[in-house]
Structures are given as C-alpha cells and as structure tokens.
Structure 1
Amino acid sequence: MSFRTRRIVEFRDTDAAGIVHFSAFFPWMESAEHEMLRSLGIKVLPDSHDDPSVTWPRVSVSCDYANAARFEDWLDIEVSVVHIGRSSIRYEVTFSRQDGSGGAVPVAKGATVVVCCRLRPRGGLEKVAIPDDIRVKLESL
C-alpha cells in the first residue's frame, strides 16, 4: 500500500517553456512525505528541544524524469515506503498526470532516504533507532 495525494502545477513551478522545472519535484516529494507522516499521526518536527519525538533529516534524494508536466496540470503523487531499516527509511515517490483520455502518464519517479534523529538540547542531531510505534505506523503502508 502507499499514500496518495494530488497537487496542481503552479506558474512558479514552471520554466520559460511552461514545463515544470526539475527542481520543483524535490519540495513536492518532501511535502507529500510530510502529508503522509501527518496522516499517520507522526510528527514531522518536535515541538521543542525537550520534546522526545524525532525528526527526519534527508541523507539522499534523487529524481528521474519521464514526461513533461505543465502549468495547471494536476499531478497524482504516490509515496511508498520501500525499506525500513534500524534508523533509516527509503521512500519512493511517483508523479503522474492524466492524458486526454483519462489514462495515467508517468511524469517522474523520485527516491528519498531519511534518518531518524533526536534533536540534542543544545543543538545538533543524534541518530536513533526508529521508535516501535512509528515503525508500526509506517509498516501499515
């Protein structure tokens, strides 16, 4: 299973040719990931430095492109949890749009690897094992 969401391509996301700029996909991947985490009841960032919850810095992000998307296209975005390690998670994110006959056209496929960390009281990050309750929620996808 996976998490699905949609977004419309805004003018600011396009280049001079009216095609989505390659860099727009990276914040979209992060937004879809955050939306998925929130839907599972997982915090994206602790409320304070004293909060025992965890945060998820990226250690690797990539994106391959298949077809163009343009201003005001609706993109279907699917986030899949493809690997859960002791302290890391690998997501795959696929982007598609509808063609004129209602079929799905693949647009791009990205991957993100995040590491579970706690914020140290005076700053910095400490890598930790993914808490069991979070692991169970992620495995539900």
Structure 2
Amino acid sequence: MSQVYITQRMVEFADTDMAGIMHFASFFHYMESVEHEFIRSLGMSVYSQINGQSISFPRVSAKCEFKSPAKCEDVLDARLILTRIGRSSLSYQIDFSRMGQPVAVGEVTCVCCHIYHDRPPESTPLPDEFLEVLTPFLVTT
C-alpha cells in the first residue's frame, strides 16, 4: 500500500479576496508549498547538488479544480499523493479539504532538470537518491 503525505494550511487574510474567500491563485501557492514540505520531509530538496550538478524540478503542468469555498482562517487538510514517476518527471495530486469536506483538487507535474546559469534547464533522469525515497509514495492501481 502506498504512503500518503498529509499536512495542514491555514487560509491567511492575504490569500483571500474582498469577500473573504480564498482566491483561486492561492491554491497554486499552497500546492507548491505542500510539495516542497513533502520533499523536505524525505530529507531532500527541490534544489539539490547531486554529483556536482545543480538539480531542480520546474513545473510543466499545474491545474486545480475547486469544489467548495475556503474562507479566511479555515484550516485546510492537504493530502499529497504521488500519481506518477516517469523517467525524469513526477506528478502529484493534492487534495484539500476542510473538516472532511472537499475544497479543491490540484495536480502538478514537474521535470527533473540540470540547472545552469548560462543556458536553459535540461531534462535529466531522476536521480536514484530521489527514486529511493519517492517510490513508497507512488499510488499503484
């Protein structure tokens, strides 16, 4: 059975619109924050040095489907599952809920890349160090 990463976020005033409802763009910040917290909980970083190379994980896709409004000071449960491990990419689903009620479902895909200061990032296979700690979280059907 796959492992799941669960954390919480409180909706801050700055994350809401004039009606006090969480602004749609804030969910994307929360998704990235949950993803980074998950990676750090595994002893890794989204920006690492591996074999003398800078490695990071730029996003290539992100979407969010909204189910019900969240309001200022609501505490949201965030449940991250790893839905796919590719040769160089990772896909996540992040489910947000409030007291068991679905609020939003986000999906993010990122690609492992060598990061250079003088040229664009280059896709690279996921390092074994990452595969070892991520694989237990992969949802298998």
State the AA in 2 paired with 1:105: Q
Q: C-alpha distance in 2, partners of 1:121/1:110?
A: 31
- The answer to whether residue 139 in structure 2 is matched with residue 140 in structure 1 is no
RMSD (Å) for aligned C-alpha atoms = 1.5
Q: What pairs with 1:16-55 in structure 2 (closer than 5 Å)?
A: 16-46=18-48, 51-55=52-56
Q: Secondary structure at the match of 2:55?
A: coil
Percent identical among aligned pairs is: 43
Superposition deviation, residue 117 in structure 1: 0.3
Q: Secondary structure at the match of 2:47?
A: coil
* Contact residue 43 and residue 54 of structure 1 kept, 8 A: no
* Contact residue 54 and residue 117 of structure 1 kept, 8 A: yes
Q: C-alpha distance in 1, partners of 2:117/2:94?
A: 33
State the AA in 2 paired with 1:30: E
- How many residue pairs end up in the alignment? 134
- The answer to whether residue 85 in structure 2 is matched with residue 63 in structure 1 is no
Superposition deviation, residue 120 in structure 1: 2.3
Query: Could you list the runs of 4 or more consecutive aligned residues of structure 1 that deviate by over 2 angstroms after TM superposition?
Result: 50-53, 120-124
Query: What is the TM-score of this pair, normalised by structure 2?
Result: 0.90
Structure 2, unaligned runs of 5 or more: none
Q: Show CA shifts across 1:48-102 (max 9, x none).
A: xx9424200000000000011101100000111000000011100000001xxxx
